[in-house]
Amino acid sequence: MLARKILLGTLGIVIFLLIWHWVTLGNSRTDVPGPWLAFNGLIELAGQGVLWRYVIASVFRVAWGFFLAAIVGIPLGLAIGWSLWIRELLNPLVQALRPISPIAWLPIAVLVFGGVQWWEPSDLAAIFLIFLASLFPIVTAATSSVAAIDEKYLRAAENFGVRGLPLLRLVILPAAMPQILTGLRLAMGIAWVVVVAAEMLGVQSGLGFQINDSRNNLRYDFVVAAMLVISVIGMLLDSAMSRIERTSLARTGMARR
């Protein structure tokens, strides 16, 4: 089964590379990079040393934005799902802000953080956008997870005198964990997409900046090379989140089959 999965995955990549090569051969523009030119560009970028610095810069921003979104979004979502008055108070605001594209907040973020002296303002603006992009999937997942808990489990716990924080810790959190972890995994993917877009608009480092700068210098081989790096890192992040999800569920006895 594993060998078949690897074989089919490799075949899919080979087919994609062949189609990519064929498209570039049939294009009259000589600056459209094919697979080999993009690979050479990747080696050149890595040799210059800037690629690794930009990867670290992008991962740094994603880590901060995602972490802040998790520590805010999980408690907020649980509270909205658990308390009627908190839901009536905050859910309309969440639903009103959720459809707004995080990139639309960029001018506001630059304006708000532009006067900050203790940190690079463009970094704070990018982290803020990642925070917003990650927050709403996490809040929505946590809220839905509480609403999906069977009432009979809550009543059974209350019959044994489990109320308040013990009820949250012993019943609600374990039952909500699968959906929360799914929300975190989804949020991580969105965060990685948003950081690249934010870096193309407002900062002087990162993979998004690398793409924009390479385009301005007509180095489209560098553009595609950076895109390949973005793809690989995105796959690694999703794989890591998937492993964390499986491990956490296995420890709580809720592993999915």
Residue 107 and residue 6: Cα distance in Å, rounded?
A: 45
Q: pLDDT tens for residues 94-147?
A: 999 999 988 888 888 888 876 665 566 678 888 999 999 999 999 999 999 888
**What pLDDT, on the 0 to 100 scale, is given for residue 256?**
52
Task: Tell me the HSE value of 31 on the side-chain side, using a 13 A CA sphere.
Answer: 8
pLDDT of 158 over the 50 cut: yes
Residue 98 and residue 69: Cα distance in Å, rounded?
A: 14
Structure tokens at 118: 């203790």
**What pLDDT, on the 0 to 100 scale, is given for residue 257?**
46
Q: Which residues in 206-225 are b (16+ Cβ under 10 Å) and which e? A: bbbbbbbbbeeeebbbbbbb
Residue 180 and residue 146: Cα distance in Å, rounded?
A: 10
Structure tokens at 94: 């969440």
**What pLDDT, on the 0 to 100 scale, is given for residue 26?**
66
pLDDT tier at 255 (50, 70, 90 boundaries)?
A: low
Best-predicted range by mean pLDDT among 3-7, 42-46, 147-151?
42-46
Q: pLDDT tens for residues 38-74?
A: 889 899 988 888 888 999 999 999 999 999 999 999 9
Please state, rounded to an integer, the average pLDDT across all residues of the chain: 85
Sign, CA dihedral 82-84-90-91, equals positive
pLDDT tier at 152 (50, 70, 90 boundaries)?
A: confident
SS3 215: helix
Residue 217 and residue 203: Cα distance in Å, rounded?
A: 17
Q: What's the maximum distance between 2 C-alpha atoms anywhere in the chain?
A: 75
**What pLDDT, on the 0 to 100 scale, is given for residue 2?**
66
* Dihedral angle over CA of 244, 248, 249, 251, nearest 10: 140
Cβ contact 73:134 at 8 Å: yes
Helices (H), the chain: 2-25, 35-48, 50-82, 84-97, 106-113, 121-147, 151-159, 165-167, 173-202, 207-216, 220-251
**What pLDDT, on the 0 to 100 scale, is given for residue 116?**
63
Best-predicted range by mean pLDDT among 49-58, 62-71, 78-87, 246-255?
62-71
- Which of 88-92, 97-101, 138-142, 167-171 is predicted least confidently? 167-171
207 or 116, greater pLDDT: 207
Residues in the chain: 257
**What pLDDT, on the 0 to 100 scale, is given for residue 252?**
61
* Dihedral angle over CA of 92, 93, 96, 99, nearest 10: -120
Residue 130 and residue 202: Cα distance in Å, rounded?
A: 13
Cβ contact 186:137 at 8 Å: yes
**What pLDDT, on the 0 to 100 scale, is given for residue 238?**
92
**What pLDDT, on the 0 to 100 scale, is given for residue 22?**
86
165 or 102, greater pLDDT: 102
The CATH topology of domain 37-251 is MetI-like fold (1.10.3720)
214 or 29, greater pLDDT: 214
pLDDT of 30 over the 70 cut: no
Residue 211 and residue 223: Cα distance in Å, rounded?
A: 5
pLDDT tier at 253 (50, 70, 90 boundaries)?
A: low
